[in-house]
């Protein structure tokens, strides 16, 4: 037998290997046959050349046979590699995917009372092994009968590959699984996966965030669980047949539902384009409720991609308007250069260069500090800031956490916006809340410090005790200043712009704010952002309430006004009325007045006294 005949027999046998292997598809065998034929023809030509030239070179038959065998080995290696690519799975196999899916387990998330907010359920996902599909066209037709929503061209392309594993559809229903199983399609199977579900739908969406189809946290607390290692702990516990204890949040689900209900009603009534609200425990920093509208259903994660569905409390940055005056007055009182009896000239607009600072409701007289707060005087507030100076103003806001990004367990946060070159005019406008934009959650933290005795407690979305909070909370104002700020905020609810939030028995106090929105680099005269920062009960502060409306509209009952006192404040009042009983705040109809809250601290005459 010549070397050429040996190789002919070898390649003929090799070409039949693909068809003989049970794991091969028909298409695979055809491809290997074609490659074998091409290879045989190629080597035959090489042999002819060698044989023809061998006669001239005196090559022996043994040497030709050796050369033929060498070429045969090389080609067999090539064919073997093709066989490997044809029969080997792609990047993964069904068994590997099933093992990975079973390992991805997330801990349950519950509210402060143990109510389930997020949990895992077992679902079936449909996959295929294209290398084991006998008839692709038939498989496509059958699968689309059970799942008509599948794209025919996309499915055809998936099943026509050489891969060992492809997903067909994730998270199918039990009824769909039974229907597909009965079809008996070779090369099609199911993997049991953990699917994240959110029983309360959109109610807690901006706190929880969501997990994707692979059960990985993408936003909110879900992402925090991954980055903090909680998900890995849950997976390790599941591998041992156990389960990690639920992650307990500071959130109260009952309060959350009530807050969202009132915010939806208020946003609808005043035709606002967006709205947000939050309640925090002023002593622990726990976020009891956070609502941002529009929201989304975390069970449909694609809705979270809508640009209007951001967490406006943590991520949005806004000029908070006159709510900032509380910080300016606290700065003045805490410095010792200003007291409650100090008086400032508000008889005429404050001039700075070519700019004039006006009051929205001018009194055109000299005002003491309580009157500046109750009348929300821009002029008086600016004069207090100027009395302390630019450096002191910046240092105080820095200390109060208003000039730095506030980071919580939620990965989403935004950096405040303020002038890089901070001059006297900036101090004037920032004093009353214009020229600086912050995330509303920063306002929650700062106002809580004004009434809790003077401690800056970082907000948290996890359950925390008072002792744990105080261990990390620096004192930022004196206790005496905190008492004075309680007085001013309660006085504003009794006599000032926060009267519509003064729910009998609950001793509410607060500060209103209306800021003109910046549109195309200019302040708009028709579009406002209104805010209300409230505290209750003021005789023993426990909870801080924030309400923000984006572009509320005036109504006949508001007499053409769209300012905070006409919309954000009454919404805040409705919220207090509903959630105070849920939070255990007992109504007291004989509670002390604002002046009585001061004790022995002297105060000058105020409006109505």
Cis peptide leading into residue 537 (ω within 30°): yes
- Cα gap 425→429, rounded to integer Å: 6
Rounded distance between C-alpha atoms, residue 97 and residue 346, angstroms: 72
CA max distance for the chain = 127
Instruction: Choose among 191, 8, 178, 221: nearest CA to 92.
Output: 191
SS (H, E, C) 51-116: HHHHHHHCCCHHHHHHHHHHHHHHHHHHHHHHHHHHHCCCCCCHHHHHHHHHHCCCCCEECCCCCE
* Of 125, 292, 322, 342, catalytic: 322
Q: Which DSSP state fits 583?
A: T
Inter-CA distances, 584 with 261, 507, 536, Å: 20, 14, 12
**Radius of gyration for the chain, computed over Cα atoms and rounded to the nearest angstrom:** 36
Q: Which residue in the block uniquely carries the two structure tokens 């929300």?
A: 376
Task: Report d(CA 366, CA 542) in Å as an integer.
Answer: 34
Instruction: Look up 593 and say whether it is catalytic.
Output: no
238 in Cβ contact with 103 (< 8 Å): yes
What gap in Å lies between CA 569 and CA 499, rounded to an integer?
8
SS3 assignment for 115-152: CEEEEEEEEEEEEECHHHCCCHHHHHHHHHHHCCCCCH
Q: Which DSSP helix (H) or strand (E) runs through 157?
A: helix 152-159
Instruction: Give the burial class of 219: count Cβ atoms within 10 A of its Cβ; 0-12 exposed, 13-18 middle, 19 or more buried.
Output: buried
Q: Give the H or E element holding residue 261.
A: helix 253-269
Angle at the Cα of 248 (from 246 to 254), degrees rounded to 5? 115
- The residue with tokens 């680099």 is 521
Catalytic residues: 322
């Amino acid at each position: 037998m010549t070397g050429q005949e040996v190789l002919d027999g070898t390649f003929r046998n090799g070409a039949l290997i693909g068809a003989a292997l049970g794991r091969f598809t028909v298409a695979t065998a055809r491809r290997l046959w074609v490659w074998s034929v091409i290879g045989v023809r190629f080597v035959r030509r090489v042999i002819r050349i060698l044989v023809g030239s061998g006669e001239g070179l005196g090559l022996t038959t043994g040497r030709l046979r050796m050369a033929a065998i060498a070429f045969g080995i090389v080609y067999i290696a090539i064919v073997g590699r093709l066989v490997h690519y044809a029969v080997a799975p792609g990047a993964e196999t069904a068994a590997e995917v099933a093992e990975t899916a079973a390992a991805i387990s997330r801990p349950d998330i519950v509210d402060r009372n143990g109510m389930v907010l997020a949990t895992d359920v077992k679902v079936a996902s449909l996959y295929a092994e294209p290398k084991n599909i006998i008839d692709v066209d038939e498989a496509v037709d059958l699968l689309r009968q059970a799942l008509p929503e599948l794209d025919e061209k996309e499915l055809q392309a998936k099943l026509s590959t050489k891969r060992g594993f492809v997903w067909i559809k994730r998270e199918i229903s039990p009824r769909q699984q039974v229907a597909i199983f009965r079809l008996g399609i070779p090369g099609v199977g199911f993997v049991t996966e953990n699917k994240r579900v959110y029983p309360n739908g959109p109610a807690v969406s901006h706190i929880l965030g969501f997990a994707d189809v692979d059960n990985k946290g993408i936003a909110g607390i879900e992402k925090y669980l991954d980055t903090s290692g909680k998900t890995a702990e849950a997976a390790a516990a599941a591998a041992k047949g156990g389960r990690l204890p639920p992650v307990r949040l500071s959130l109260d689900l009952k309060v959350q539902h009530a807050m969202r209900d009132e915010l939806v009603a208020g946003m609808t009534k005043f035709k606002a384009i967006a709205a947000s609200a939050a309640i925090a425990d002023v002593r622990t920093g726990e976020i009891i409720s956070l609502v941002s509208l529009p929201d989304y259903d975390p069970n449909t994660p694609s809705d979270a991609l809508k640009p209007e569905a951001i967490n406006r409390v943590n991520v949005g940055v806004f000029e908070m308007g006159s709510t900032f005056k509380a910080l300016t007055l606290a700065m003045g009182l805490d410095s010792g250069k200003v007291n409650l009896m100090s008086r400032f000239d508000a008889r005429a607009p404050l001039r700075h260069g070519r700019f004039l600072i006006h009051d929205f409701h001018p009194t055109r007289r000299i005002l003491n500090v309580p009157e500046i707060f109750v009348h929300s005087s821009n002029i008086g507030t600016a004069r207090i800031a100027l009395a302390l100076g630019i450096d002191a103003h910046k240092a105080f806001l820095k200390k109060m956490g208003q000039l730095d990004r506030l980071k919580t367990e939620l990965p989403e946060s935004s950096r405040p916006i303020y002038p890089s070159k901070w001059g006297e005019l900036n101090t004037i406008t920032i004093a009353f809340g214009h020229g600086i934009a912050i995330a509303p959650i920063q306002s929650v933290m700062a106002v809580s410090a004004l009434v809790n005795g003077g401690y800056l407690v970082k907000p948290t979305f996890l359950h925390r005790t008072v002792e744990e909070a105080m261990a990390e909370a620096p004192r930022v104002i004196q206790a005496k200043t905190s008492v004075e700020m309680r007085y001013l905020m309660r006085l504003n609810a009794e006599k000032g712009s926060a009267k519509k939030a003064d729910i009998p028995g609950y001793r509410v106090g607060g500060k209103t704010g209306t800021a003109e929105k910046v549109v195309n680099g200019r302040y708009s005269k028709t579009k406002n952002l209104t805010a209300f920062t409230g505290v209750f009960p003021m005789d023993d502060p426990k909870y801080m309430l924030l309400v923000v409306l984006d572009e509320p509209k005036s109504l006949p009952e508001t007499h053409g006004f769209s300012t905070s006192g006409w919309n954000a404040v009454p919404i805040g009042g409705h919220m207090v009325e509903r959630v105070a009983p849920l939070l255990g705040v007992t109504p007291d109809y004989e509670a002390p007045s604002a002046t009585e809250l001061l004790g022995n601290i002297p105060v000058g005459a105020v409006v109505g006294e």
